[in-house]
Structure 1
Amino acid sequence: MAGQASRCPVRVVARFRPPDYPAFHVEPCGAVDSADLTQHFQFDRAFGQEASQGEVYDDVGRPIVDDVLSGYNGTVLAYGPTGSGKTFCMFGPPGPRSSSVLEGLVPRAVQQVLDHCTPDGCGPGDDLRVECSFFEVYCFSVEGLTHQQIHSADDALQILRAGLKLRVAANTKLNQHSSRSHAIFTLVLRQTDRMTESVRQRKLTLVDLAGSEKVRKSGSVGEMLEEAKKINSSLSTLGHVIEALADRRPHVPYRDSRLTRLLEDSLGGNCRTTLLVACSPSAAHISETLSSLRFAARAKKVENCARINISSRSGAGAEGQLQQRIRQLKRELARLSARTNH
């Protein structure tokens, strides 16, 4: 049994980091214009350099967490070129634990979720299990940094800090702490009503995508050059998935990369999703910023179909197996269709 599905477009929010020489005008209503007024974009919201971490969380993170606590799957994706501030938005500044004012979206979301997961936040006859995972997609492989059941926000934050220490990063000309992998942090909530034996399961997915980079600007060589090529390749595949979904094409190339396979539910699936596009308004990075804004404009055309996932305890396993088999058959059908078209 599942709740009735509802169509919900991907919500898109732009955030600009402090500039050197501003090349864009940003309005809170979501309007973004180039300084010469030749380029215009309209998103759901746009933040300038003066925006605080708390303001961004209240607009981007809190509504998605509220959706998850209501029973839906929810995702926040941070996208943008290297050095644009994605990791700061998601996790806060690097190094030891920062002040609460600078905390990023992920630790704030963890606190909001676990504050709700108390006896007062659940029904009197409910059992609630929360699992936390943190992994990275690095050079086409998925590395599990950690996964375990948690009982408090401190448990989840320890997992987060441990995972960030293990995440692959490097120093480039564009970014002293350039992430060389896509980081995916998830919380899965499984709530069982002992009276009715119904099971409600939902997942919060928070993604810090590695930044696309122009090698001539970043100065990447050797191993870092190979990392940059693979990052750009996986982001290119993500762009192809977005284009296919935006154009309502019958085949969506989720299987072309590990990253897009992992994001299949978040983009075009059973999820409420917000894309946070991080940008630099500096004239020195105008081509990268325009590319990111165009990506975000295409993503705004993507529609998901979200529903509350409820099943009976006895049928939960069978339903999960059935859904897995349906997805497998859809993938096989897509492959056969692609071969026929060729």
Structure 2
Amino acid sequence: MVSATAYIRPSNWQLAVESYEKERQDRESAETSRDMLTVDLERVTHEAKRFSEQLKMVQDTNKRLQEYNTSLQQYNSNLQADASKSGETISKLQKEKSAMMETMVSLKDLNNSMKNQLDSSRTSQQEAIRVKEEFRKEVECLRSELQQVRDDRDQSVAQVNTLNVELANCKEIAGQSTEDCESLSVKVSAFEVTCNMQQEQIQTLQKQLAFATEKLKLADVTAVEVMTGYQEQKVKIKDLEERLASAEFQIVEADKLRKKLHNTILELKGNIRVFCRVRPLLSDSDSSGAEEAPISYPTSVESAGRCIDLMNQGQRFSFSYDKVFDHVASQEDVFVEMSQLVQSALDGYKVCIFAYGQTGSGKTYTMMGQPGIDQKGIIPRSLEQIFKTSQSLESQGWKYCMQASMLEIYNETIRDLLAPGRSSNFEMTAGKQYTIKHDPHGNTTVSDLIVADVFSSADVTSLLAKASQSRSVGRTHMNEQSSRSHFVFTLKISGSNENTGQQVQGILNLIDLAGSERLAKSGSTGDRLKETQAINKSLSALSDVIFAIAKGDDHVPFRNSKLTYLLQPCLGGDSKTLMFVNISPEASSIGETICSLRFASRVNACEIGIPRRHT
């Protein structure tokens, strides 16, 4: 028993030892497998971590590509804005091209603008080429980066496949890693889609760049066409300048011909011309009951505007003059008819215009007028025409200097109306003694008379206002404000032409004579009586001079009166003379009216010397 037991125990112990050894080997094998699995798990974890870092790098790359895509979109917007600006610039060039054809001055400005725009276009073209080159380099760089991304993607896909094989052996331990890999695969697919979209955007931008390049080429062609048009406009401008110079020369020649024909016409009309003007019937209280004289105006072709008929005690009196103005004629109508005569003073002739008629017949209104544009008389209108015409002749090289003087002949005494301290109640006590002198050339001067330089019609208007305040006036039965003296306005005109070297000397005498009146009708007494006698005496002397000239007498009594002696160059020299005979329409003045018209007819029949231009 003992031996058997002893024999069995060793066998159990050996089995136990073997079982333990096997168990220990199994345990060691399990531990080894566990260690291997642990190592594999660590390696898989490390690989997953490295793959996560690569995924993060891919995400960063994707983010950088998105930022670059944003910058490309912004650059595309800038290119579109530049293209829009280029279109606006082309429209502006077309408008400027149209404006160039309108005026020579705008052509010069447009030339400078076109040059600047051409330089700007060339600069923009060079800038576009440079940007295109940079853009091409950026596209190549982007393609290189995209290829690198694709290589990384392929490598990532290979790694994912390898990881999938390895993860298939340890799904239970690394199930979460498999899910991460699937998510990474999805992200890689999305990244591929994003790359494809960016590639399409790059192609779109390349097309837009090509379109912008074509636009720049078209702009270059347009600029060349504009330059060609500019050269053509330069040729046209040169031709216009030559035509302008020719036209200016023709204007100068035509002006010479105009002056010659103008003076020929006036000479054919007669050296002493006579105009007749009938005053309207006044409506004030003093004349409200006045009866209108039977005055008529023939309307036949030969007589229209030149004849006037009066009836007195059943007898018809007919008179014919150069021009007859009825009672409805305006101041403008009167001046238009004699404005050519005023022009002769600028051309270098002596011109004399004087108004004659009985007291209250409208002489002062005809010569001076009243305040108001439509009421201006011959004197202010003549001065306005002279200054306006002299200014227009400056473009032809003419320059004029003008001097004005004003005097009155009161009771056979000369008074200077521009002298300091003059007034209408001035009495000649120990004043200056003015002397009339005529030189061999027919020029008349009055000693010690103030002569004022005038440069505009406003200057003369101021002098006329001063003279009007100084002129002698008085009240009679025939006129509330009757001029009691002969008023003489003289304008000396000196002209020179810088282009031709020509010089002219003209004189314009504008005279408002005192009215003739009958003592019985005017009711003058005292000083008014002396004034009336002096006025009638000087007008009678004027009649004697006219009669002597009309009859061709060898001796003409110019010295019988200060008035006739002052008018000697106008009546017996080389002056162009016009007389206005003013008549009243009242029946009570018919006798004096007929006397005035008869005197005007004798004046109209006078023949004096041929007017001579003073150069």
TM-score scaled by structure 2?
A: 0.47
**Matched-pair contact (CA < 8 Å) for 1:23–1:286:** no
Deviates more, 1:65-74 or 1:171-180: 65-74
| Counterpart pick for 2:307 among 4, 26, 31 | 31
Tell me the equivalent position of 1:229: 533
CA distance in 1, matches of 2:559, 2:414: 14
Tell me the equivalent position of 2:575: 271
Aligned-residue Cα RMSD (Å) equals 1.9
* Residue 245 of structure 1: how far off its partner (Å): 0.7
CA distance in 2, matches of 1:110, 1:196: 26
CA deviation profile, 1:179-225 (whole Å, cap 9, x unmatched): 00000111110113456655310111111000011111111100010
Structure of higher CA gyration radius = 2
What is the aligned-residue identity percentage? 35
Tell me the equivalent position of 2:331: 53
CA distance in 2, matches of 1:164, 1:26: 35
2:515 alignment partner, SS class: coil
Tell me the equivalent position of 2:471: 167
CA distance in 2, matches of 1:64, 1:133: 20
* Residue 122 of structure 1: how far off its partner (Å): 3.5
CA distance in 2, matches of 1:257, 1:39: 31
CA deviation profile, 1:295-336 (whole Å, cap 9, x unmatched): 0000001123201111xxxxxxxxxxxxxxxxxxxxxxxxxx
**Does residue 240 in structure 1 map to residue 544 in structure 2?**
yes
| Counterpart pick for 2:356 among 65, 79, 100 | 79
1:49 maps to a residue whose letter is: H
Structure richer in helix, relative to its length: 2
**Does residue 63 in structure 1 map to residue 340 in structure 2?**
yes
Tell me the equivalent position of 2:85: none
CA distance in 2, matches of 1:12, 1:143: 28
Tell me the equivalent position of 1:326: none
CA distance in 2, matches of 1:76, 1:236: 19
* Residue 77 of structure 1: how far off its partner (Å): 1.1
**Matched-pair contact (CA < 8 Å) for 1:212–1:235:** yes
**Matched-pair contact (CA < 8 Å) for 2:546–2:603:** yes
Q: Work out the number of aligned pairs and report it.
A: 302
**Matched-pair contact (CA < 8 Å) for 1:268–1:302:** no
CA distance in 2, matches of 1:161, 1:117: 23
2:599 alignment partner, SS class: helix
Tell me the equivalent position of 1:315: none
2:364 maps to a residue whose letter is: T
* Residue 72 of structure 1: how far off its partner (Å): 1.5
CA distance in 2, matches of 1:170, 1:107: 24
1:217 maps to a residue whose letter is: K
CA distance in 2, matches of 1:26, 1:263: 32
CA distance in 2, matches of 1:44, 1:225: 35
Higher RCO structure (Cα 8 Å, ≥6 apart): 1
Tell me the equivalent position of 2:389: 116
CA distance in 2, matches of 1:114, 1:136: 25
Tell me the equivalent position of 1:309: 614
* Residue 281 of structure 1: how far off its partner (Å): 2.3
1:265 alignment partner, SS class: helix
Residues 116-265 of structure 1: pairs in structure 2 closer than 5 A: 116-118=389-391, 120-122=392-394, 125-146=397-418, 147-194=451-498, 198-265=502-569
Structure 1: segments with no counterpart, 5+ residues? 311-342
CA distance in 2, matches of 1:123, 1:73: 25
Structure 2: segments with no counterpart, 5+ residues? 1-259, 282-290, 299-303, 419-450
* Residue 244 of structure 1: how far off its partner (Å): 0.7
